[in-house]
Structure 1
Amino acid sequence: MQSASELELAPGKRKLIEAALRLTAGGRSFASLGLRELAREAELNPNTFYRHFDTLDDLAREAVESVSRRLRPMLRRERWLAAHDEPHSVPRRACVAFFAFALENREAFLSALAEYHGTSPALREAVRVNLNEVSAEMAEDVVQLNLMPALPRETIEEICTQIVLQLFHLSHEFIGNAAQRESLIDYAERFIVRLFAGAVVLAQHEAQ
């Protein structure tokens, strides 16, 4: 069943995005793609590209944003459900949800990981902007759910930025190493708990 955000995309646009993600999942940059190669992978006429995009950078940005539009509400829903079930379960459940989404969308994540340090400034910025949106919503949830009452908002925002970046980079290993997936979830959970616990200790020390 297609998600609402996928249904918003015209069929030709969606096929081009999916084709580009398949071609770049192995580490190639979007900039290296040829229009005919992309159209052939999408099983479309090359002229179809220009009905939907002006440049490959436009396609890449749309690909990143389409994934982000599905990832962010899913993570927020999981955090809120976990917080109401058992607040201490939020870190682990959020990690499980994030990595499961990365695995389900492996081509998009592998492409985004490659572009994070890629040659296109526009694409590097697009990936960073979307990661920042994820971390901003995480910080908002931590504040609204009162999960870290001892910490000021700016500290929570900084920690959430670090967490999202770490999970994003860990997703590469999670996708490629099935044997280590459970231990990666354990590690990510410890990473989150220790960051927040350390920040609380520092805040208490500074308050003395």
Structure 2
Amino acid sequence: MKKTRPAEEQSPKEELSRSARKDLTRAGLTQAALQLMGEGRSFTSLGIREIAREAGMVPNAFYRHFRNTDELGLALVEEVGITLRRLLREARQGGVAPGDIVRRSVQVYHQYVLQNRLLFLFISSERSGGSRILRLAIRNDVTHFTNEMAQDFRHLGLYKDLSTRSLQMICGLIVTTMLAVAPEILDLPPNQPLLEAEMTENFVQQLQVVLLGATLWKEKVRAID
């Protein structure tokens, strides 16, 4: 009879295999929830058994990864936040000239939204409705996003005369604009390059107006003083 080795004696390869299987199961559950939402369901209407069935698993498999559906939703919010912040930080710091940062960031954001349609349908839906836990999580992630952008602007030497509070306000307007445009990106008909280019240019101009306002805001503060 073959004996099972204690956990501490098992090889890294075996450990990696278990870890990979666990990640795949977790990803299968989150993807199942997103697929159900893609069919027109609201996230708050989804049940654990339904999500598990869509993923081809038993309900107990769900509880090995999440305590409830809100916890699964939090994992989705975290996935969007971490990945998008990394991509946009790279767009701002990847040797791009300051004048091209806006356009490069818009291109990166547009592509990410298109590649993660179901995730952004979820974010757009839960940002203004559904679970209070998820609304707060999205709001906290927006704050994190805003503060990180403000820090990057400082690092790049942009808007040096703005106070931290004012710079965070400007970055907050940028993030809010980005979130607002996501449904427009998702609703754009496929294979319409002219419409896509027009929408992208409009998005760029919106952000440029916000940043132009940042320079005027600096002058206004000085006039009040």
CA distance in 2, matches of 1:161, 1:140: 12
Match of 2:50 in 1: 37
Aligned 8 A contact 1:27 1:110 in 2: no
Q: Give the structure-1-normalised TM-score.
A: 0.89
2:220 paired with 1:205: yes
Cα-to-partner distance string for 1:180-206 (whole Å, 9 max, x where unaligned)? 322222122112211121221232133
Q: What letter matches 2:127 in structure 1?
A: Y
CA distance in 2, matches of 1:74, 1:195: 21
Match of 1:85 in 2: 96
Q: Could you list the runs of 4 or more consecutive aligned residues of structure 1 that deviate by over 6 angstroms after TM superposition?
A: none
CA distance in 2, matches of 1:128, 1:184: 26
Aligned 8 A contact 1:95 1:185 in 2: yes
Cα-to-partner distance string for 1:140-178 (whole Å, 9 max, x where unaligned)? 111110122242222111111111111112111112204
How many aligned positions are there?
Answer: 200
Match of 1:3 in 2: none
Cα-to-partner distance string for 1:14-33 (whole Å, 9 max, x where unaligned)? 11011111212355322201
Moved more, 146-155 or 44-53: 146-155
Aligned 8 A contact 1:36 1:46 in 2: yes
Cα-to-partner distance string for 1:56-85 (whole Å, 9 max, x where unaligned)? 00000011102222111111011112xx33
1:34–1:102 CA distance, 2 compared to 1 (3 A): same
Aligned 8 A contact 1:139 1:156 in 2: yes
Q: Give the structure-2-normalised TM-score.
A: 0.82
SS of 1:52 mapped into structure 2: coil
CA distance in 2, matches of 1:137, 1:18: 28
Alignment RMSD:
1.8
Match of 1:69 in 2: 82
Identity among equivalent positions (%) equals: 32
Which residues of structure 2 form unaligned runs of 5+? Answer: 1-19
Within-5 A mapping of 1:157-176: 157-176=168-187
1:129–1:206 CA distance, 2 compared to 1 (3 A): closer
2:91 paired with 1:57: no
Match of 2:203 in 1: 188
Larger CA Rg, structure 1 vs 2: 2
| Structure showing greater relative contact order (alpha-carbon pairs closer than 8 Å, 6 or more residues apart) | 1
Q: What letter matches 2:25 in structure 1?
A: G
1:166–1:28 CA distance, 2 compared to 1 (3 A): farther
Which residues of structure 1 form unaligned runs of 5+? Answer: 1-6
SS of 1:196 mapped into structure 2: helix
CA distance in 1, matches of 2:116, 2:110: 10
CA distance in 1, matches of 2:73, 2:21: 17
